[in-house]
Amino acid sequence: MSVASKKIESAQTSPSWVTKAIEVAQTRSSQSSMSAVVAEALAVWNKVLFPTPRQESWKYTDTDVIAKGEFSLPATVAAAVTRKDLEPFVLPELNAYLMVFVNGVFNDALSSKDEVAGVTVGRLAAGSDAPFGSLGQHKEECFAALATALTTDAVSLVVKKGAVVSRPFHVLHVVTKDAASTVLTPRLYVKAHEQSQLTVIESHVALDSVKYLALPVVEIHADDAAVVDYYKFQDESRDAFHVASMTVDQGRSGSVSTHVFSFGGALVRNNINNLLKGSGAFSVLNGLSVLNGSQHVDNSTLIHHIEPSIESREHFKGIYADDSRGVFSGTITVEQIAQKTNAFQSNQALLLSPSASIETRPQLKIWADDVKCTHGATVGQLDEDAMFYLRSRGVGREEARNFLIHAFASEVLTTCKVVPLREYVEGAITAKLGVPA
């Protein structure tokens, strides 16, 4: 049953800024191939509206600051961004195909012009007929519904059967001061046909410290025996709000590996659904949050075992300093038919301050009886015994602290196959917490 058909406690009317933004979006995309999906999403949004902490899935994250904000769609005039502005965020060692969004709109001038063998790149505004919205998260989740109702542009990557793409795609989302008080709805659709292989990296960054609302949506279809590695790095303005929706639809005998790195923003929420529909599939879902100040990051995940003989691995870690707060709500669901399931889930948090906190809720919902499923959560501070061990061998206190923080993060980082990205994230930890590797 979809959320739209449930009785949900929320505001009685849509905030005025949302109503105005929807009206603008409709005038900009009235001829879009997504028209039917947008109409469907709008109907869902009008029923559910913004969530409240009284809803179980939003118990620890209050979106009132977003609902009462004043956001509008950004102007259609492209912001003045140069290739030099992108240099801090583009990793030359990646040798990637670059796709750039500026203030939520795809920027063709800053993106790679290379044709990629075996890959069709499409854009909604240019008439792409990719089935954006086909995974239907807009039917189940309020922010996905709002993002879809406000969609004016989107990009698709379709990989042909058997194609192996050796170079990654780097989708770079850049926000400028022109996006102050706007709502951004970038959208990415990935389709990996049978026996194809693809790596996608998404970066969400800001050139200026401004307040805005980002509602990105990602849909990944991985057909039988396809291999997809997806990485998301998010380090936006400290005043920004970021609520992302991602759905993975995975077929038989394939492998989808997802990593989510959350570093920036005032309030961040990652809604991630992995639908495992084919026997022999292997799924990895890892995350690392590094926060300070009064930042708030909420990772809400669902791994749904729909067919038998599927293996999933989920590991989320968080490092919290100052008054920051983390939330992890992870659910593994195993259907009755999904015998021989092997699922592992873990959430670990490192609190660097007495005022930092984490709410963690690992959950298993198992209807099958021949499964191997484990989950667990640990929360703590730096290990004093480990500190003592290092200090007793001549290591200074600050150096020992830095070593232990990086060691804590390394368990997730080592599963990142893209070495330049892994090194970039390690550098971001150093910049964030002042802890050199």
> Which pLDDT score is estimated for 299?
98
Cα gap 410→400, rounded to integer Å: 15
191: tokens are 């389709």
Q: Which residues contact 221 (CB under 8 A, 6 or more apart)?
A: 134, 135, 190, 191, 192, 249
> Which pLDDT score is estimated for 419?
95
> Which pLDDT score is estimated for 76?
77
Please report, for the chain, the start and end positions of each structural domain, with discontinuous segments joined by +: 3-277, 383-437
In order along its 437 residues, the chain shows pLDDT tens digits of 344 434 444 445 789 999 999 999 988 876 678 889 999 999 999 999 999 999 999 999 999 999 999 999 988 767 789 999 999 999 889 999 999 999 998 998 999 988 899 999 999 888 888 899 999 889 989 999 999 999 988 999 999 999 999 999 999 999 999 999 999 999 999 999 999 999 999 999 999 999 999 999 999 999 999 999 999 999 999 999 999 999 999 999 999 999 999 999 999 999 999 999 999 999 999 999 999 999 999 999 999 999 999 999 999 999 999 999 999 999 999 999 999 999 999 999 999 999 999 999 999 999 999 999 999 999 988 767 776 666 677 777 777 777 788 888 988 999 999 999 999 999 999 888 875 54
> Which pLDDT score is estimated for 391?
66
Q: Which among 319, 268, 303 has a CA at the least distance from the CA of 434? A: 319
> Which pLDDT score is estimated for 435?
57
> Which pLDDT score is estimated for 275?
97
Q: Which residues contact 431 (CB under 8 A, 6 or more apart)?
A: none
> Which pLDDT score is estimated for 12?
53
Asked if 280 and 249 count as a contact pair (C-beta separation under 8 A), the reply is no
> Which pLDDT score is estimated for 437?
46
Q: The whole model's pTM is what?
A: 0.93
